Amino acid sequence: MAAKIRSKLGILGGTFDPPHWGHLAMAEAAHDQMQLDRVLWVPSHRPPHKSANCLSAFEIRRDWVRRAIADRSEFALVEVAGRSSGASYAIDTLRALQRMYPDRDWCWIVGLDTFRSLPKWYKCQEVASVCQWSIAPRARCSHSQAQAVAATQQACREVARLLEARSISIRWQVLEMSPIDISSSEIRRSCREGRSIRNWVPESIRADLETHPF
């Protein structure tokens, strides 16, 4: 009897305060290039490095994600309960998803800055070695897509060496895509200053963001 082929799921976590076209481009590139069955969008209750006072309410951010991906069947919104302390750790997210979707292979989708912080993650070894990692090239690396991908690959090799020095094996791949030059912080700033965000976010959430008290 032929072995059953395990499905492969992507994890795109973040505060999504707010979600934007860059997040959607990352998810789409990972879905296609990594041959994922589905990308799970997992809004964080509160990352350990951020204060709850700096974030929009979780319920609001979750609804923004729901509306941003509503017309994409290859994406799914998944809510994972946070710790009693309120902090959201990657290891908790991964364990919860493994319970929800047993016998799957996992691919974690991140930007370069997040991947660079991986060696400092709580219980890094348990997270890093279980997942394959898809890294989006960073816009600040260079101007062209090829240069950005090459520079991002070099930075990722440095992260892999740091992990290997701690006997942590990791599988990673830089996504072939245009560098993302959008940030949630810039969107929030533009909203506060009354500038247009039309080209940065899906139309399904734009009006709500423009009136949201960031």
Residue 143 belongs to some domain of the structure: yes
For the chain, the three-class secondary structure string (H helix, E strand, C coil) is: CCCCCCCEEEEEEECCCCCCHHHHHHHHHHHHHCCCCEEEEEECCCCCCCCHHHCCCHHHHHHHHHHHCCCCCCEEECCCCCCCCCCCCHHHHHHHHHHHCCCCEEEEEEEHHHHHCHHHCCCHHHHHCCCEEEEECEHHHCCCHHHHHHHHHHHHHHHHHHHHCCCCCCEEEECCCCCECCCHHHHHHHHHCCCCCCCCCCHHHHHHHHHCCC
Residue 191 belongs to some domain of the structure: no
Residue 3 belongs to some domain of the structure: no
pLDDT of residue 141: 54
Q: Is the pLDDT of residue 40 over 70?
A: yes
Percent pLDDT > 70 in the chain is 92
Residue 205 belongs to some domain of the structure: no
Residue 195 belongs to some domain of the structure: no
Residue 162 belongs to some domain of the structure: yes
User: Quick one: how far is CA 135 from the chain centroid?
Assistant: 9
Structurally, how many domains does the chain consist of?
1
For 59-72, write each residue's pLDDT tens digit.
999 999 999 999 99
Mean pLDDT calculated for residue range 123-127:
94
Residue 135 belongs to some domain of the structure: yes
Q: What is this structure's pTM? A: 0.93
The boundaries of the domain holding residue 79 are 8-181
Q: How confident is the model at residue 48 (pLDDT cuts 50, 70, 90)?
A: confident
Winning range, highest mean pLDDT, from 4-8, 127-131, 139-143? 127-131
Of 136, 185, 174, nearest to 20 by C-alpha is 185
For 100-122, write each residue's pLDDT tens digit.
999 999 999 999 999 999 999 99
pLDDT of residue 123: 94
More confident residue, 84 or 200: 200
pLDDT of residue 42: 97
Q: Is the pLDDT of residue 2 over 80?
A: no
Q: How confident is the model at residue 81 (pLDDT cuts 50, 70, 90)?
A: confident
CATH number assigned to the domain comprising residue 98: 3.40.50.620
Q: What's the whole-number average pLDDT of the chain?
A: 92
pLDDT of residue 1: 52
Residue 201 belongs to some domain of the structure: no
